[in-house]
Structure 1
């Protein structure tokens, strides 16, 4: 997969996420053996475990004030997505700008790490 194809995939992934269709994005763009590390620094292995974690986290969100993508960079087989979040989690404010760094192989994200 070349850089242009990855750019197109990232744009679609972002669009799906912003529409609330993040599970479709996972199924389409993430490798079954995904290694994903969120802001807590703990790697989670496998797409199914990451989908379960995503469902749990999403169920705890309310009062969405901002959920947006503020930038995308693709360089070779790596993409960077800048996300802005401002919502409540379990009734507590959660406001952060974070960068997702994604490594792509054969059209799928094999590793994703988040930094704020």
Structure 2
């Protein structure tokens, strides 16, 4: 994919999340062999496993005050999305500004790491 194509894909991913469709974005833009490292530093592998975890995380959300993209950069085959998150889940309050660093391969995100 070119930078322009990745930029278009990132914009669509952000739009789907803004519409409340994060799992649709996951289904469309994530590689079957995805490797994802969460804020806690734990790495998970495989689209099926991460999809199941994502559905559980969404089920645990009680209230969302903010979940928006506040910036993005695409350079080469890497994208960076800055997310503003303010929500309550069954574990308590989550309020953070985080950066998702995404490496693209074959038109999909193959590796994603989160930093706050």
Normalising to structure 1: TM-score of the pair?
Answer: 0.96
Distance 2:23 2:90 in 1: 21
Distance 1:69 1:29 in 2: 16
Report the equivalent of 1:53.
53
Runs of 4+ deviating beyond 4 Å: none
Distance 1:91 1:104 in 2: 32
Report the equivalent of 1:108.
108
Distance 2:62 2:37 in 1: 23
Normalising to structure 2: TM-score of the pair?
Answer: 0.96
Query: Could you list the runs of 5+ residues in structure 2 that have no partner in the other structure?
Result: none
Summarize the alignment of residues 6-45 of structure 1 with structure 2, pairs less than 5 Å apart. Answer: 6-45=6-45
- Measured after TM superposition, the shift of residue 84 of structure 1 is 0.4
Alpha carbons 1:35, 1:110 under 8 Å: kept: yes
Question: CA RMSD for the aligned pairs?
Answer: 0.9
**CA distances 1:42-69 after superposition (whole Å, capped 9, x unpaired):** 1110011111111111111122111111
Report the equivalent of 1:92.
92
Distance 2:59 2:78 in 1: 30
Query: Could you list the runs of 5+ residues in structure 1 that have no partner in the other structure?
Result: none
- Measured after TM superposition, the shift of residue 19 of structure 1 is 1.1
